[in-house]
Amino acid sequence: MGKFISIIKTVLAVALALFILSWIVYFFNLDMKLSAALYNPLQKIYDMRKRDKRL
């Protein structure tokens, strides 16, 4: 029974940590800040690709 309670505590701790982490990402809008930081380097890679210009 003690092992079961230990597993439940671990699962709850992980769930709480993930909830807090997702709240921090949401509150500070970190996902869009990361997207904005990666936009220009990814745009350069996209622009270097060879394309077929036919429609």
Model pLDDT for residues 16-49, shown as the tens digit of each residue? 999 999 999 999 999 999 999 999 999 999 999 8
Strands (E), 1-55: none
Does residue 11 sit within a domain? yes
Does residue 26 sit within a domain? yes
Does residue 55 sit within a domain? no
Does residue 27 sit within a domain? yes
Does residue 53 sit within a domain? no
Report which of residues 50 and 37 the model is more confident about.
Answer: 37
| Model confidence, pTM | 0.65
d(CA 29, CA 37): 13
In terms of residue numbers, what domain contains 20?
Answer: 2-48
**Domain tally, the chain:** 1
Q: Which tokens hold the place of 27?
A: 């509150």
Decide: 42 and 48 in contact? Cβ < 8 Å. no
Does residue 33 sit within a domain? yes
